[in-house]
Amino acid sequence: MNDTVAQYLTQHADRFVDELKEFLRIPTVSADPACKPHMLRGAEFVYRQFSRLGFNAEIVPTAGHPIVYAEWLKAPGAPTVLVYGHYDVQPADPLDLWTTPPFEPTLRDGCLYARGATDDKGQVFTHIKSAEAWLNAVGALPVNLKYVIEGEEEVGSRNLEDFLEARKKSFACDVAVVSDTSQYGPNQPAITYGLRGIVAVEMTLTGPKKDLHSGVFGGAVANPASGVARLIAALHDDQGRVQIPGFYDDVTPLTDAERKQFADLGFDEEAFKAELGVTEVFGEVGYSTTERRWARPTCEVNGLFSGYTGVGPKTIVPSKATVKITCRLVPSQDPHKIVQSLETFLKSKCPSSLTFEFTSYHGCPAFVLDPTSPYIEAASQAIREAWGVDTVRLIREGGSIPVVQTFKDVLGLDTLLLGWGQNTDNLHSPNEHFSVTDFHRGISASAGLWQKLAEMPK
């Protein structure tokens, strides 16, 4: 990488961490209506990062939380890169399980602990600091950059597609870059060429119009909690296979070559079990743990509530029971079709004595990048230099980033998913953290990437 840029990164390393802490102090929980004012503060923080570097920047209001858009287009003839990230974070609860408060970023054992540290504030910040380094140290960037940093990724990116559609014409770019995924393991940087899609739904079954005395009325009316439990139990067979009719119909099966590629990555099942605190892995029969996580569709209960959940006993028949469910999707599965099959299936199994309500939240299809994309080599080189390793693995992952398939569909763009995080960073869990070393390596890889992309043959 450019020596002047590298020097700037070293000189300003500590300040980068301080600024990231400032970003992390803003509780930008997109799902929580009480955080609305903080969402704007978050967007303003991001906006200022760009405006002070001389980017054309704007805060774009949406029906939900604002999008920050910023561009620097002073490298005529050079490629244009679209950088995407999100400044919103997941809710921090359960709060009592955090060692230090989620919005008071704390350095411990070489990691920065805070909600959003790895997902995605710390990661998206690497691409902002790399641009800063080029502009402040050299005075120009080797590529043109357009940043879209949104505030609704964790709630399904509801308003982003409209934004992209509206600006489609002015959005000409060559490639998209996203850092919102993980490495394969510590010191094992990777490029992710596939993500799963998702659909999120909620079902409520209602019995009596109010909670009833279970002695006086129990046995005479259907219990909605039991009803929900029966439906949930019907979702899988005991071999872990999803029982919704047609669920697997459109699934693109893994090729033998991919199965071998996954297996060759090596996977430490004992360490995996220990990390998660489980005695056994479990999932669809006939597939390895890696295949189940990256390339097989699933149906998961995310939350379940009904009746009395306080201390001690309370003898009631609850009025209602609710379950939140998500399915992770793989290539060729259609989110709309899956939601429909799921609703039809649950409805068909619902006892006639209970009322059925069904809400569909958000959905996105799976993503796969052509593994022969020439951009992969440019990114690998930049990562190898920053990490000082020989290999950058090509992996898939099980999580979802709704917009990446939209980049392909609406803008025709390939996306490079360059994850600087670790799956053990506790994303979406208490004590989320991000390695400070990986933060700095990420900045350095990003700064190198701008140059590698500029040097690519046209």
The residues binding ligand BES (CB under 6 A) are 119-120, 153-154, 156, 180-182, 195, 198, 362, 397, 399-402, 427
Size of site (CB under 5 A) for Zn ion: 1
With CB cut-offs between 5 and 8 Å by kind, which of Zn ion, ligand BES, none does residue 432 bind? none
Under the binding rule (CB under 5 A), the answer on residue 438 touching Zn ion is: no
With CB cut-offs between 5 and 8 Å by kind, which of Zn ion, ligand BES, none does residue 385 bind? none
With CB cut-offs between 5 and 8 Å by kind, which of Zn ion, ligand BES, none does residue 399 bind? ligand BES
Q: Which is nearer to ligand BES, 181 or 406 (CB)?
A: 181
Q: Which is nearer to Zn ion, 5 or 417 (CB)?
A: 417
Q: Kindly state the smallest distance separating residue 358's Cβ from Zn ion, in Å.
A: 25
With CB cut-offs between 5 and 8 Å by kind, which of Zn ion, ligand BES, none does residue 321 bind? none
Q: Which is nearer to ligand BES, 27 or 399 (CB)?
A: 399
Q: Kindly state the smallest distance separating residue 288's Cβ from ligand BES, in Å.
A: 18
Give me the sign of the Cα torsion angle 402, 404, 407, 408.
negative
Q: What are phi and psi of 155, to 5 degrees?
A: -120, 25
Q: Kindly state the smallest distance separating residue 47's Cβ from Zn ion, in Å.
A: 22
The tally of CA atoms less than 13 A away on the side-chain side of residue 72 is 22
Residue at 55: amino acid letter: F
Rounded Cα gap, residues 34 and 298, in angstroms = 32
Residue 123: closest CA among 367, 383, 443: 443
Please report, in angstroms and rounded to a whole number, the separation of the first and last CA atoms in the chain: 20
Residue 149: closest CA among 69, 258, 238, 252: 69
**Which member of 32, 71, 119, 385 binds Zn ion (CB under 5 A)?**
119
Question: Taking a C-beta distance cutoff of 8 angstroms, is the pair 103, 114 a contact?
Answer: yes
With CB cut-offs between 5 and 8 Å by kind, which of ligand BES, Zn ion, none does residue 181 bind? ligand BES
Q: Which is nearer to Zn ion, 119 or 291 (CB)?
A: 119
Q: Kindly state the smallest distance separating residue 123's Cβ from ligand BES, in Å.
A: 8
Q: Which stretch binds Zn ion (CB under 5 A): 119-127, 157-165, 375-383, 450-458?
A: 119-127
Q: Kindly state the smallest distance separating residue 428's Cβ from ligand BES, in Å.
A: 6
Q: Which stretch binds Zn ion (CB under 5 A): 116-124, 155-163, 192-200, 212-220?
A: 116-124
**Which residue in the shown chain puts its C-beta closest to Zn ion?**
119
Q: Kindly state the smallest distance separating residue 298's Cβ from ligand BES, in Å.
A: 12
Rounded Cα gap, residues 387 and 1, in angstroms = 12
Please, which of residues 43-102 interact with Zn ion by CB under 5 A?
A: none
Q: Kindly state the smallest distance separating residue 61's Cβ from ligand BES, in Å.
A: 22
Owner of token pair 């006993």: 313
Q: Which is nearer to ligand BES, 273 or 362 (CB)?
A: 362
Q: Which is nearer to ligand BES, 196 or 440 (CB)?
A: 196
Q: Which is nearer to Zn ion, 117 or 135 (CB)?
A: 117
Q: Kindly state the smallest distance separating residue 113's Cβ from ligand BES, in Å.
A: 17
Q: Kindly state the smallest distance separating residue 122's Cβ from Zn ion, in Å.
A: 12
Contact footprint for Zn ion (CB under 5 A): 119
